[in-house]
Structure 1
Amino acid sequence: MKNIVLILIISLVLASSASAVQFTEGKEYICLNKPATCEAQVLEFFSFDCQHCYQFEQVYHISSNVKKLLPANTTVTKYHVNCLGPLSKQLTQAWAVAMALGVEDKVSQLMFSAVQNTQSVQTPDDIRMVFIKAGVSPKEYDWAWNSFVVKYLQRQQENAAIDFQLRGVPAIFIKGKYMIKNDGLDMRSIDLYMKQFSDVVTFLLTQ
């Protein structure tokens, strides 16, 4: 009986400690002058032209690994920005194509590699070729590129960047009200960074 009571006490202490994890505004995150949405929403801004975004996504796989640690009902959306590179606007439109066709995961790695590693994306036709390599048919790509849905998604990305007064990427916003401060997280190792990143996001989703 004593052992059972002891186990219950230890469990309560551990649960209390876990729920007591707190983060500080101005250190791990910034609170924006905006109303929070009711949805469990994570919005990430990135650019294929951004080297830090490339490392964030393709080298350390932070986005995909953190996503696995978030609550199941969390909506994670990624928007491309126009502020970097001579083809940034076309790449934003291309990302809208990927969103419309549901091929973000297939396109992301290939596009990052083509832009950052081989520098083989120099024209809009080169962007189109990346989609074809990702398994999208030329006809499907051309239809999507000129579609109303893609034009809408492109404007949505551009307007969101303006609305959040974006200053750089990668940038992550929670519930439309909180922004993660990457420089305020534990950088001693990738594992510690990803764990704290997911903890901060989970914490802010409850605010």
Structure 2
Amino acid sequence: MLKSIKAALLALMLPLAANAATYEEGKHYEVIAERGTKKPEVTEYFSFYCPACNNFEGLIEEFKPKLDDGVKFKKSHVDFIGSRDPEHQKMIATALATAEVLPQKKQIVSAMFNHIHTKRGKFNELADIKDVFVAQGVDGAKFDKMYKSFSVRTKASKMARQQKQLQEKGALSSVPTFIVSGKYKLVLGRDSGITSPDDIAKLINYLASK
């Protein structure tokens, strides 16, 4: 009887052990820092001007609900895709930071991608971005206030700082790039076999719990 119980417990443990050994450093993820963030999170480094990032939006919406409770999803805009004008890139990053503090965030991000990739529109000036926000139900005066606020400007500056740090480490050269807890870079695609929403969510959850 005791042997049967032990055998049953071992059978239950084997799948867990196999799952824990599924992911390999260098194949499924890369370690880019010695220490991670205090709280589990995953950050997508992307650009509104990146076609691959635009196409990835649907996949993100599929794997986000599968993330473990407490694993926060963030977006961070990079400045090396699209316009070479630093001020223009700063404007786009600040627009994202503004969207982040508004309840219409999801709709705004989608609308900005749509403006560039579907409508083939351009953001020549801040008024063009403001039009997108207003079309998504954001009061124009509120947009002006939030865009110029200290908290939004600080958030945008943080994006630029984190991007620079990752580039100096050689951990960020293309987008979209996903970093878990500031320590692990996901390796997605055919070579790693991590391509589906389920697989991506499982890898993020695994790394976020390390």
Q: Pick one of 141, 147, 170 that aligns with 2:176.
A: 170
Provide closer, same or farther for how the CA distance between residues 31 and 147 of structure 1 changes in structure 2, counting only shifts above 3 A: same
Quick one: distance in 1 between partners of 2:128 and 2:60? 26
Deviation string, structure 1 residues 129-162 (Cα, Å, up to 9, x no partner)? 1111111111111111111111111101111111
Tell me, yes or no, if structure 1 residue 85 matches structure 2 residue 82.
yes
Counterpart of 1:157?
A: 159
Q: CA deviation at 1:90?
A: 1.5
Deviation string, structure 1 residues 87-131 (Cα, Å, up to 9, x no partner)? 432211100111132432120111100011112223222111111
Counterpart of 2:110?
A: 109
Larger mean CA deviation between 33-42 and 91-100 belongs to 33-42
Contact 1:31 1:179 in 2 (8 A): yes
Q: Pick one of 62, 65, 71 that aligns with 2:62.
A: 65
Counterpart of 1:35?
A: 35
SS in 1 for 2:128: helix
Q: Which runs of at least 4 in structure 1 moved beyond 3 Å after TM superposition?
A: none
Contact 1:54 1:112 in 2 (8 A): yes
Q: TM-score, normalised by structure 2?
A: 0.84
Quick one: distance in 2 between partners of 1:122 and 1:177? 33
Deviation string, structure 1 residues 39-74 (Cα, Å, up to 9, x no partner)? 2111111110000000000xxx11121111111111
Q: TM-score, normalised by structure 1?
A: 0.85
CA RMSD of aligned residues (A): 2.1
Give the alignment of 1:129-168 within 5 angstroms.
129-165=131-167, 166-168=172-174
1:202 maps to amino acid? N
SS in 2 for 1:38: coil
Provide closer, same or farther for how the CA distance between residues 14 and 68 of structure 1 changes in structure 2, counting only shifts above 3 A: farther
SS in 1 for 2:101: helix
Counterpart of 2:50?
A: 50
Gaps of 5+ in 2: none
Q: CA deviation at 1:16?
A: 3.1
Gaps of 5+ in 1: none
1:163 maps to amino acid? Q
Q: CA deviation at 1:176?
A: 1.0
Q: CA deviation at 1:14?
A: 5.0
Quick one: distance in 1 between partners of 2:35 and 2:108? 33
Larger mean CA deviation between 14-23 and 122-131 belongs to 14-23
Counterpart of 2:26?
A: 26
